[in-house]
Amino acid sequence: MFLGQEFPILGNWFIIHFTENNGMAFGLELEGDFGKLFLSIFRILAVTGIGWYLVLIIKKAMPAGLIVAVSLIFAGALGNIIDSAFYGLIFSDSSYRLATLFPTEGGYGKFLFGRVVDMLYFPVVQGHFPHWFPIWGSEQFIFFRPVFNIADSAITIGIFTIILYQKSFFSMPVKAQENRVLLINKENHDEQVHCFVSLS
């Protein structure tokens, strides 16, 4: 597909729309080469931290739901890093033409300066704001306007899962610790009783 090309899957409700994101979520970006480099390095550091945390919670035998949620965040973030790190090296530009894989003249960008590919578009509700509405009066309204990818979906699902189930995810180790303390206290009590009976 060339940049901006699209085709409907479920009428106007679900569309495959090819776009490229130069920055963060919702198309936000830091200006210039320095901003792009800073964002790419920040992503790599963030994924490293998430990967370390994932290993840690697996070793601590934390709830499976938490491990799955963090894995989704890790995989999604890693997927977007791969796009921004390598796509600029291996693809030609997609503006007004189909991209070429491994073009002889080289890709459209340097290492860490690639763009993240987005393609999932769900403009389920469309209309216009009322004329009296502040700021956006009479302007077109689309929900859901942002175009995203599967990696973004994985990150979003992982984050919302942690938010929704945080009490059960993070209270279980505490309960386990409390049970361990009770067990130790019971063992100490039984040992004291045994010693008392032996002395008697």
pTM of the model: 0.77
The list of the chain residues with pLDDT below 50 reads: 174, 180-181, 192-200
pLDDT value, residue 24: 61
State the catalytic residue, choosing from 33, 83, 93, 152.
152
Crossing angle for the helix pair 32-59 and 64-90, to the nearest 10 degrees? 150
pLDDT in tens, 71-94: 999 999 999 999 989 999 999 999
Does residue 152 carry a catalytic annotation? yes
Question: Tokens in use for 110?
Answer: 């340097």
CA 52, CA 194: separation in Å to the nearest integer? Answer: 46
Does residue 118 carry a catalytic annotation? yes
Asked if 147 and 52 count as a contact pair (C-beta separation under 8 A), the reply is no
Tokens 């994101």 belong to: 21
| Cα–Cα distances in angstroms (integers) from residue 20 to residues 37, 39, 115, 191, in the given order | 17, 16, 6, 68
Asked if 88 and 110 count as a contact pair (C-beta separation under 8 A), the reply is yes
State the catalytic residue, choosing from 33, 83, 118, 190.
118
